[in-house]
Structure formats: C-alpha cells, structure tokens
Amino acid sequence: MYLKRRHLLATALAMPALRTARAGNTLRMGFQKGEPILVALKAAKSLETSLAPLGFEVTWTEFEFGVAMLEAMRAGGIDVGAVGDTPPIFAQAARGNLSYIAGQRAGAEAVLLPAGSTIKAPADLKGKKVAFTRGSSSHNFLLRVLEKGGLTYDQIQPIYLGPADAGAAFERRAIDAWSIWDPYYALYEKRPGVRALVTDSDLGGQNSFFMARSDFVHDNPSITAKTVDTFIAGGAWARAHRSEMADQVAASTGINREAIGRAVDRAPFEVMFMNQELIDSQQGIADRFHALKLIPVDVQVASTVWRPSA
C-alpha cells in the first residue's frame, strides 16, 4: 500500500550498488550529487586516508536522491550515506534496520514557482499541482508550508517526482509549484520569472542525517566513530573554505558554479554526533507523517540512534 511506483524506480536506480560485492574490510559509501561535504571528502580521499590505518578501504556509489539511497542500504548494497530528514522516517516505518549515526543542519530548501505564476501565498496552493520527491526532505518541507497556509495535504494535487523529472516538469510549466532542496533550488531560483514562495529562512531550518546499516555499525563501532569524526572535520573545513568547496563541488558534479556557490554560501556545514535536539526534531517529523497516515506505524526515532561508547 505504501510502496508506490517511485519506490520501485528508486530500487531499480539502486541496483548498481546492490551488485557491488564487499571485498574484505570495505566501507561502501552512498552519496548524492548535491551533498557538498561528501562530494568534497570523496574528491580529497579524506575517508580513505582516515580509515586506511584501521585496515578499511572505501568505495562510492552515487544516487539521485535519498529515498533511492536508503532503499539500497536496506537491501545491503551500501553501508553509510547522507540523506535529508524524511527518508529515514520512511525507512524506519518499513523496518529498514538502519541507524542514525550523525546529523547536520540542512542546506536551503524552497517551494519554487514557475514564470508567470499568479500564486502569492501558501494558501494559494489549494488545488494546485505541487511536485516533490515522496519521502524526501522536500515532502516534509511542503507539509510545513501547507500548515503555514492553513491547508491540509488533501487540498493539493501531490505530484511525486525525483529532482530531474521535477525540474523538467517545472520548466515546461506542467506543475504549479515545486518543493526542492539545494543545489537544485539554487540552480533554478535565478531563471527568468522564477520566484520562491517560501524558503527555509521563513520556516526555520531543517536537519539532515548520516545513516548506516545497523549491522555494519554493530560490527564496526570504531570504524563508524572514525567515519563520523571525518564528516565533522569535513564540515569544519567547508565552513572555512567555502569558495574552494564550491569549486570542488562544481567540478565534481558539473553543476553551474554560480548556483553551487549560492548553495555552499548558505549551507551551515555543522556536523555532529546525534543528540537529544536532533532526536526530538526527527520525532516531530515522524509524528506529523503518522498523523497524516503517510506512514503506517508509529515510529520511535530514539530506538534507531547510535552513539559512540566512551
């Protein structure tokens, strides 16, 4: 009932990762094109350098969005990856056997309007076709926008699309609005006539998370801790070297440097081990989706959080 066509497509997209066999002690990383810290760490081989003394190698598999990544992780194809706030909720609801290992303040998000749109306020989304990736952070962001406008989920026409398909639909005005995260937000926001109806600055920021297979974490606690330490160091480097970070991400992804620069300039890059504030924030999202019957079970986030031992 809850597994839609897009989830099947996400699993298909994850197949290259599922065919990657583990060779000895290997950390299999998943990453998204728009995740600056992991893109930069991959380019600099920072994880490889950190884990080599512990006898671990690193492999990398790219995904278009977090839902596909966690489908691959649930199937045992990758070990660790970074996603927005909502994919872990859906994965936990599906009993994905995954663990939160770290969190960070998320990059910018927005609901974008195409050129010529007459929409002026969130309440004007009533009856409109709004695109977003189901189960992604853009899904949760849209729900918050609807709450701001006094609307309920059943008062819009949800259009479930991944970023690439949504971008194409947005350009030909086949949708009325698009809930999306950076760097796609940055890539489209300056196009002629495009406007942001609501941004994360209007609602308050969201979080994103580093997730891992629970079995991997259980078997490799020291590797997990060292990996998170490397993410934290990568975030600190990014905060101090934003221009260089933007250059690296633009070169690695092929996305316009100007757009990447905007996304990097407004990203917090604050990675941390899991704490109570992050857990409480996630629990609020889980409760929102359960109340709307968008997930079938009452998810308890704290039960899937990993913390390093003393």
- Mean pLDDT, to the nearest integer, of 23-50? 89
What is the model's pLDDT at position 17? 38
Same domain, 102 and 211: yes
pLDDT of residue 10: 37
Average pLDDT for the chain: 90
The answer on pLDDT for 143 being more than 50 is yes
Same domain, 124 and 260: no
Tell whether 310 is covered by a domain.
no
**Boundary of a domain, candidates 168, 203, 238:** 203
Q: Are residues 192 and 222 in the same domain?
A: no
State whether 99 and 129 are in the same domain.
Answer: no
Dihedral Cα 185, 190, 193, 199, nearest 10 deg: 40
**pLDDT higher than 60, residue 19:** no
The CATH number covering residue 186 comes to 3.40.190.10
pLDDT exceeds 60 at position 22: no
The pLDDT, as a whole number, for residue 215 is 96
Query: Is residue 309 a part of any domain in this protein?
Result: no
pLDDT band at 310; cut points 50, 70, 90: low
Task: Tell me whether residue 96 is in a domain.
Answer: yes
pLDDT at 35 (0 to 100): 86
Check whether 1 has a pLDDT greater than 70: no
Query: Does 52 reside within a domain?
Result: yes
Under 8 Å between Cβ of 111 and 163: no
Position 14 scores a pLDDT of 37
Residue 47 lies in a domain: yes
- Residue range 76-100: average pLDDT? 94
CA separation (Å) from 45 to 39, 49, 57? 10, 6, 11
Query: How many structural domains comprise the chain?
Result: 2
Indicate the residue among 203, 238, 269 that finishes a domain: 203
* pLDDT 10s digits, 180-221: 999 999 999 999 999 999 999 999 889 999 999 999 999 999
Of 91, 88, 123, 121, nearest to 106 by C-alpha is 88
Q: What is the pLDDT of residue 309?
A: 83
Does pLDDT of 308 surpass 80? yes
- Any domain includes 42: yes
- pLDDT at res. 18: 40
- On the question of pLDDT at 274 being above 80, the answer is yes
* 217 and 190, same domain (yes or no): no
Residue 199 inside a domain? The answer is yes
**Stretch 63-74: mean pLDDT:** 91
Cα 192 from chain centroid (whole Å): 27
25 and 52 belong to one structural domain: yes
Task: Say if residue 275 is in the same domain as residue 299.
Answer: yes
Q: Do 189 and 271 reside in the same domain of the chain? A: no
Last residue of a domain, one of 176, 203, 230: 203
pTM exceeding 0.95:
no
Distance CA 297, CA 303 (A): 14
Identify whether residues 177 and 300 lie together within a single domain. Answer: no
Classify residue 242: in a domain, yes or no. Answer: yes
| Per-residue exposure over 72-96, b if at least 16 CB sit within 10 Å of its own CB, e if not | bbbeebbbbbbbbbbbbbbbbbbeb
The answer, yes or no, to whether residue 15 has pLDDT greater than 80, is: no
Residues 72, 11, single domain; the answer is: yes
pLDDT bucket at 262, cuts 50 / 70 / 90: very high
Question: In this structure, are 87 and 228 located in the same domain?
Answer: yes
Show the domain range for 198: 109-203
- Same-domain check for residues 94 and 221: yes
